[in-house]
Amino acid sequence: MHRTAKRLALASLPLAMIFATPALSQSLTVGLTSEPTAVDPHFHNLGPNNSLRMHIFEGLTQADENQQNVASLASDWEAIDETTWRFNLREGVTFSDGTPFDATDVVYTICRVPTVENSPSSFTSFVAGISGVTIEDPHTIVFETNGPVPLLPTNLASVGIISAESFGGEGVVYGQGGCENLGTPPQAADFNDPAKAIGTGPYKLESYVRGDAIVLSRNENYWDGTPTWEEVTLRPIANEGARVAALLSGDVDVIESPPVQDFDRLRRDGFEIAQGLSNRVIYLHLDNHSEDGHVPPGVTGTDGKNPFTDVRVREAISKAIDRQAIAARIMGTLAVPAGDLLPYPMFGTREDTPVDPYDPEASRALLAEAGYPNGFGLVLSAPNDRYMNDEKVAQAVAQMLARIGITTTVDAMTASTFFSRRNNFEYGMWLAGWGAATGEISSPLIALVATRNPDTGMGSTNRQRYSNPEIDALIKEAIATVDDDAREALLQEAATMAMADYATIPLHFEVTPWAYRPGLAVTPRADQYTLAMEVEPAS
């Protein structure tokens, strides 16, 4: 009842406006590949959730379309020393319910993040380094950290600021022992109610029907100009055929990830396609476990040795792969051959990083030199529903390896099984992907290359158990260096060494496509998010 009444009121007011401009240009409907699992900005650290979050809740900083960290609710910030940061908050910002935003909301948010119950993937790591918060004045806040955290401004981009007042947390203080007077912080389900999902973002929540649609409406109080769309509808359409059909039939205006085989059809019907290089590298990992007598699972014909601990074998595999052919023939323009773990010009990458050349002759020579003139047998494992054409790429790699004498069979399976088995060290060689959420090469270096150490969190996805103390030392130094230039130099050095040692074999960077109706312009984002803020009527 209440909602209907509001709709009616809304509808009767701007009648003149509706007649003046066609209704189509005021509302936007987006077909998403997967649905956000909650509106709560701190519940589930997952692409679709973070993408929705950016519409409603803003962070102190934000990642722009190239994942450069830029100002948002903080107008600027500086590192006072290695462990102290001062953020100046933007003045005159109000939440969508009209209450003003100030430093108390920041403290409240940081205190609330660790209290989310049953979070399947927590945001705690983004605020974990913070050991003290001081409010200098309502628009100046100072953070102290345990040890240097150079990525603090980047981390804070992932933490959407919520309103302390809506949850009765105005009295919150960050004292000696941590958060005090937090009151009863909200739980995830609370945010599904539009009255509670109060942020400073350009859009506010209108309704949330799980499985069907999330409707957002323009935040008229937005501090950075009037948002383009009066109403934005986000609809999960998981099946790619159904998604394309929804676009073709005019049900939706923009869709994520149209399948490459439909590009011609879409263009022929006048639809447009935007493509952008993503932060995701598709790579091969090889079981590097060096324990005596360890033979990687699936590897045969090596006389009980592990061939992958020999850098010549790793190089032979890399040089046996024709990356140009994979990008051109299998990925159909949706891939760029990779010679690094993150595309240039993201932080820590090098300009003109060479892509390892396709050279089967050299590969065969390297294999012979390493003591495998007749090659060996291998099983290449891959997911078949996680990355673009993942299984086909694995098949192509297997055929290319067969040409240098490494008889390879592909074992492809659904993602949920694939990752569980990978985490149990059940593969000898596998294909997977890594997206650098921070937009910095430290992310793939820490996850894929650094020596596994559950205590420090290094090498969390380094299930190949590669270990190189020199690279570890460089990474460790880099992530404790607050000075950006010095850190970038260290990271570049670490990446150069990792690539020279074939610590991970990169195949290509994914290119993300969007398809949309004529009359729109979509700005591709490297983090693959689809934001209503990046969709404008074409002029």
Partner 1 sequence: MLVYLIRRIGQSLLVIAVMAFLVFLAVYAVGDPVAILANPEANQAELDAIAARLGLDRPIWEQFGIFVWNALQGDLGTSFVYSESALKVIIERLPATMELAFVALLLSILIGVPLGVIAGLKPDSLVGRSIMSTSILGFSLPNFWIGLMLILLFAVELRWLPASGRGETVEVLGVHLSMFTWNGLSHLLLPAITLALYKSSLVIRIAQAGTREVMLQDYVRFARAKGLSSRRIVFVHVLKNMLIPVVTVLGLELGSMIAFAVVTETVFSYPGMGKLLIDSINRLDRPIVVAYLMLTVFIFVIINLVVDLLYAAIDPRVRLSEAKG
| Interface with partner 1 (CB under 8 A) | 35, 37-38, 43-46, 117-122, 124-125, 187-189, 209-213, 235-239, 241-242, 245-246, 248-251, 414-417, 419-420, 422-423, 434-435, 437, 443, 447, 454-458, 460-461
- Give every CB contact of residue 29 below 8 A, 6+ residues apart in sequence: 232, 233, 234, 235, 251, 252, 253, 254
Closest distance between partner 1 and the C-beta of residue 325, in Å? Answer: 28
Contact between 528 and 509 (Cβ < 8 Å): no
Please tell me whether residue 135 adopts helix, strand or coil conformation. Answer: strand
Please tell me whether residue 432 adopts helix, strand or coil conformation. Answer: strand
Nearer to partner 1, 327 or 471 (CB): 471
Distance CA 111, CA 132 (A): 11
Nearer to partner 1, 223 or 419 (CB): 419
Nearer to partner 1, 239 or 374 (CB): 239
What are the residues facing 233 on neighbouring strands? 29, 215
Please tell me whether residue 240 adopts helix, strand or coil conformation. Answer: helix
Closest distance between partner 1 and the C-beta of residue 451, in Å? Answer: 13
Closest distance between partner 1 and the C-beta of residue 294, in Å? Answer: 21
Comparing CA positions, the residue from 84, 195, 187, 191 lying closest to residue 140 is 84
Nearer to partner 1, 222 or 418 (CB): 418
Cα torsion 431, 260, 415, 423: sign: positive
Closest distance between partner 1 and the C-beta of residue 235, in Å? Answer: 6
Identity of the residue numbered 191: F
Nearer to partner 1, 364 or 463 (CB): 463
Nearer to partner 1, 92 or 211 (CB): 211
| C-alpha distances in Å from residue 303, one per residue of 230, 254, 299, 300 | 68, 55, 10, 8
DSSP 404: T
Distance CA 266, CA 268 (A): 5
Nearer to partner 1, 278 or 408 (CB): 278
Nearer to partner 1, 321 or 436 (CB): 436
Max CA distance (Å), the chain: 82
| DSSP characters over 141-165 | EEEEESS--TTHHHHHTTS----TG
Closest distance between partner 1 and the C-beta of residue 403, in Å? Answer: 32
Closest distance between partner 1 and the C-beta of residue 251, in Å? Answer: 5
Closest distance between partner 1 and the C-beta of residue 189, in Å? Answer: 6
- DSSP element (H, E) containing 216: strand 213-218
Closest distance between partner 1 and the C-beta of residue 262, in Å? Answer: 12
Nearer to partner 1, 331 or 458 (CB): 458
Closest distance between partner 1 and the C-beta of residue 115, in Å? Answer: 13
Radius of gyration of the chain (CA): 25
Comparing CA positions, the residue from 502, 280, 282 lying closest to residue 383 is 282
Q: Count CB neighbours of 10 within 10 A.
A: 12
